[in-house]
Structure 1
Amino acid sequence: MLKVIVFGSLNMDLSMECEGIPMLGDSLRGTGFLSTSGGKGGNEAVAAARMGAETYMVGKVGNDHNGRKLTSDLTIHGVSVSNVSVTARAATGVSLVLRSGKDRAVVTDPVPTRRSPTARCVPPSTAWASIATSFSCRWDPACPWCSSRSPAPSATVSTPFCAPR
């Protein structure tokens, strides 16, 4: 079985449908509010797991409701979260998404990732087939395993992983 490790961001996506993207100072009526688990790293990990890979996530979340929801959703989708750190020093990252037809506007505050120097190192294995990275967590050159490898970038999956299929 293919094994994939993903280093990346984990954010809660708070989104709403609206008539258009508002200009500064405008107020628009919105409908269809969704709160879904996301983040480029989380989306990549779920996509790999859905394709049948044994998938491991490396990232950081806050010790809050959103952090627990993200790790729970990853687990439900078959992603190992044993290398997701939990911090009490920052809230879980949040993305605000305004959906308008085929257009959208996104504002993200990846708080734990921004304030964390390094993700925990994942134990080495000779069976790793690929490493997916979105580099929201920093590659640790002090780690013997990390420093002996060049991470290969992967495609970004833009659909939040807990959105209805």
Structure 2
Amino acid sequence: MKKILFWVIAGFCFFLLTAAEARALTLTSPAFLDGERMPQNSGYEKGNLSPALKWWDFPEKTESFALVMDDPDARGWTHWVVFNIPVSVTELGENFPKTEELPDGTRQGLNDFKKVGYGGPCPPGGVHRYVFRLFALDSRIDLGAGCSKAALLKAIKGHILAEAKLTGKYGN
């Protein structure tokens, strides 16, 4: 009986550990599903409103988040660079402010339109994919607002605890 009880408890513990490890950082938007079309008002010439984003299941040791959005169909054109998002923040509302630094310490870099903040989809032709990448980081990043995506990606190297992706489509 003791052996059976031991194996039941051991199996249950294994299940709990496996379930805990299976949790993965998740990024979603109430505005569109992964792989689906983004709202028209998120386009650069149609309102330029950043879509709302939400995330959960990040590692316990997360100290901040960073987010980049780019268009892999246009040679990685950068549309958004956000970093030092506090760990207490788990969503960005629609039409996120286009300011270099927010009161909570969140900073934004330059997009490839040479502007700070979100720069929506503006494909030259056809339908393009827009990839939002959220990084859970083990520290805040010592970069000034207005930095490039390349500078941010270099700075977060070695600090990434988890990454999540969300892809939207936009264009004709």
TM-score range, shorter chain: under 0.3
Q: Which has the higher contact order (CA 8 A, sep 6+)?
A: 1
Q: How does the TM-score come out when normalised to structure 1?
A: 0.26
Which structure shows the higher strand fraction? 1
Q: How does the TM-score come out when normalised to structure 2?
A: 0.25
